[in-house]
């Protein structure tokens, strides 16, 4: 049993479709109106059917006032970390402190290479991510003396000017599944962001243990690392599997993930307004109430 006692948050994970750009933006605005805490979009710059995610996030930030925004997760191999750091900090200032940074080591290397990115081995991809976190955080540290200096295997930044600093303490969440990435999450990240559909039974417990061990060895409290989870499902009158059934089933299953597996942020992958509405108005408050009762 692992419950880190963090307040629960609920969000959406949507497709940045360019078929009807206005509808994509309207769905994000609806999420804020429904009271969700977070709106995220997948980031695949090589997909011609998608809007550029960071451009979309900027537009959505201008159309909303409360909800937090993030890529889920940012495609690091196609976004140089020094420029990414400035982009995140700039948008965080413009939005009043509502931007978070989800990061991934990279996948779909043929498509990345076709876009001009560098193909990396799995070990290089993890190393690149660790170096990128260093670059980004140094860019954000506008009060430090001297320029940004990272002499890495993949990223070399020598003397870049620091700043701007974000408006709030932007969290860095990592999409991690394997041991080196889980260790990196525990040592350096502010959050763990896997997708439930990619996990096998026991993976959440094992991932939490690996992150907790790495955090402790780095002198951090395990509770400093937020536990987020991308989920998908369908509402129906009868149960047909995990998150395939009535609201009561969703409430029970998500509450167990919170109390038993330490998940504090649930992000529903859906582009359907009615599904998001039920998630926000029926599931989220009931999960908060049940988890609060269990904790008490």
Phi and psi angles of residue 115, each rounded to the nearest 5 degrees, phi first: -90, 0
Instruction: Answer yes or no: is 272 within a domain.
Output: yes
Instruction: Answer yes or no: is 3 within a domain.
Output: no
Q: At 25, is the secondary structure helix, strand, or coil?
A: helix
As a whole number, mean pLDDT of residues 103-122 equals: 95
Instruction: Answer yes or no: is 1 within a domain.
Output: no
Q: At 178, is the secondary structure helix, strand, or coil?
A: coil
Q: Cα(198)–Cα(133) distance, rounded to whole angstroms?
A: 24
Can you give the pLDDT at residue 234?
97
Instruction: Answer yes or no: is 153 within a domain.
Output: yes
CB 95 within 8 A of CB 66: no
% of the chain residues with pLDDT over 90: 98
Instruction: Answer yes or no: is 182 within a domain.
Output: yes
Instruction: Answer yes or no: is 156 within a domain.
Output: yes
**pTM of the full predicted structure?**
0.97
39-43, 84-88, 141-145, 196-200: lowest mean pLDDT where?
141-145
Instruction: Answer yes or no: is 207 within a domain.
Output: yes
What's the CATH number where 227 sits?
Answer: 3.20.20.30
Domain tally, the chain: 1
As a whole number, mean pLDDT of residues 113-126 equals: 96
Q: Taking the CA of residue 158 as centre, how many other CA atoms within 13 Å lie in the half-sphere pointing to its CB? A: 3
Evaluate if residue 1 carries a pLDDT over 80. Answer: no
Instruction: Answer yes or no: is 2 within a domain.
Output: no
């Amino acid at each position: 049993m692992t419950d880190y006692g963090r307040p629960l948050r609920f969000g959406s994970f949507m497709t940045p479709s360019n078929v009807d750009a206005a509808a994509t933006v309207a769905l994000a605005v609806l999420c804020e109106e429904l009271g969700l805490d977070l709106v995220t979009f997948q980031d695949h710059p090589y997909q011609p059917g998608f809007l550029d995610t960071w451009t979309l996030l900027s537009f959505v930030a201008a159309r909303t006032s409360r909800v937090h925004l993030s890529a889920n997760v940012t495609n690091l191999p196609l976004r140089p970390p020094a420029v990414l750091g400035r982009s995140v900090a700039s948008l965080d200032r413009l939005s009043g402190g509502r931007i978070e940074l989800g990061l991934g080591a990279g996948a779909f290397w043929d498509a990345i290479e076709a876009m001009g990115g560098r193909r990396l081995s799995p070990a290089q991809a993890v190393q690149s991510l660790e170096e990128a976190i260093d670059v980004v955080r140094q860019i954000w540290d506008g009060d430090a003396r001297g320029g940004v200096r990272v002499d890495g295997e993949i990223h070399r930044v020598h003397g870049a000017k620091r700043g701007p600093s974000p408006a709030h303490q932007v969290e860095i969440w990592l999409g991690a599944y394997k041991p080196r990435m889980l260790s990196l999450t525990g040592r350096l990240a502010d959050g763990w962001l896997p997708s439930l559909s990619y996990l096998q039974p026991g993976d959440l417990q094992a991932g939490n243990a690996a992150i907790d061990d790495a955090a402790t060895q780095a002198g951090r409290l395990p509770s400093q690392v937020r536990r987020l989870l991308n989920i998908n499902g369908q509402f129906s009158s009868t149960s047909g599997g995990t998150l395939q059934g009535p609201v009561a089933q969703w409430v029970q299953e998500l509450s167990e993930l919170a109390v038993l597996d330490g998940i504090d942020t649930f992000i529903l992958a859906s582009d359907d307004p009615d599904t998001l509405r039920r998630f926000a108005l029926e599931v989220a408050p009931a999960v908060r109430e049940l988890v609060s009762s269990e904790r008490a």
